[in-house]
Chains A and B, each alone.
Chain A
Amino acid sequence: GAGVSQSPSNKVTEKGKDVELRCDPISGHTALYWYRQSLGQGLEFLIYFQGNSAPDKSGLPSDRFSAERTGGSVSTLTIQRTQQEDSAVYLCASSLQSYGYTFGSGTRLTVV
């Protein structure tokens, strides 16, 4: 597609349940990033995939968070045993090196 696609756009889940968020990056973009954006908190880096290299997981806030990228394309961010503090907008971005990111519209996660 022409842009970065994220699904679902909105997700409401009960505390303790697992959720999966999907990102479909721009075709040919080798780098893929996940960020979390909470109200008034700015963009918090979560994880970074570059080609076939091991991902940079340094931003994942706890071991309840994990992500994978299959075939160098689609990525899934999984949050296990969700907590209320996980409520945020989860943004995915892709890029070619030496340029800025193209972001998706995000998944708004609400944990009730």
Chain B
Amino acid sequence: QKEVEQDPGPLSVPEGAIVSLNCTYSNSAFQYFMWYRQYSRKGPELLMYTYSSGNKEDGRFTAQVDKSSKYISLFIRDSQPSDSATYLCAMRRGGADGLTFGKGTHLIIQP
């Protein structure tokens, strides 16, 4: 079993829909959880950063962490064609540890 599992997609939804992206993980020691967005031929950019369980909202984006289920989610409201990208989840144990990444979900927002 991989440490972090993420459905590669592609996930295709119409513009304006709510998008749900998810990752599961096996290491209960993970405490810091991140979502990165990667456009084609670009490096990943940090989108959301959360510590431990709970929700965090930033504009149209909401990150959720459920440590009891080892499950994290990223919700995108009012999705736009410009949200089309690959979304990678990432997590770490302590602040000085390296990140473990999911393989990424390719998201397509249809105009």
Do residues A104 and B98 form an inter-chain contact, with CB atoms below 8 A? no
Do residues A45 and B98 form an inter-chain contact, with CB atoms below 8 A? yes
Interface residue? B54 (CB, 8 A)? no
Do residues A97 and B8 form an inter-chain contact, with CB atoms below 8 A? no
Instruction: Give 1 or 0 for each of A88-112: 1 = CB within 8 Å of chain B CB.
Output: 0001010001111111111010000
Q: B13-21, B75-83, B100-108: which lies at the A interface?
A: B100-108
Bound CA span A43–B90, Å: 10
Instruction: Give 1 or 0 for each of A1-14: 1 = CB within 8 Å of chain B CB.
Output: 00010000000000
Interface residue? B45 (CB, 8 A)? yes
Bound CA span A103–B99, Å: 13
Interface, chain B (partner A; CB < 8 A): 8, 32, 34, 36, 41-46, 49, 88, 90, 95-96, 98-99, 101-104
Main secondary structure of the interface of B (DSSP, over half): loop
Do residues B8 and A102 form an inter-chain contact, with CB atoms below 8 A? no
- Minimal Cβ-Cβ distance residue in B for A41: B103
Q: Across the interface, which residues of B come within 8 angstroms of A100, CB to CB?
A: 34, 36, 46, 49, 90, 99
Q: Across the interface, which residues of A come within 8 angstroms of B46, CB to CB?
A: 100-102
Interface residue? A40 (CB, 8 A)? yes
Bound CA span A103–B90, Å: 13
Q: How large is the interface on A (under 10, 10 to 19, 20 to 34, 35 or more residues)?
A: 20 to 34
Would you list 5 pairs from A and B whose C-beta atoms are within 8 A, ordered by A residue? A42-B104, A97-B95, A99-B95, A105-B43, A106-B43
Most buried by B among A4, A50, A103: A103
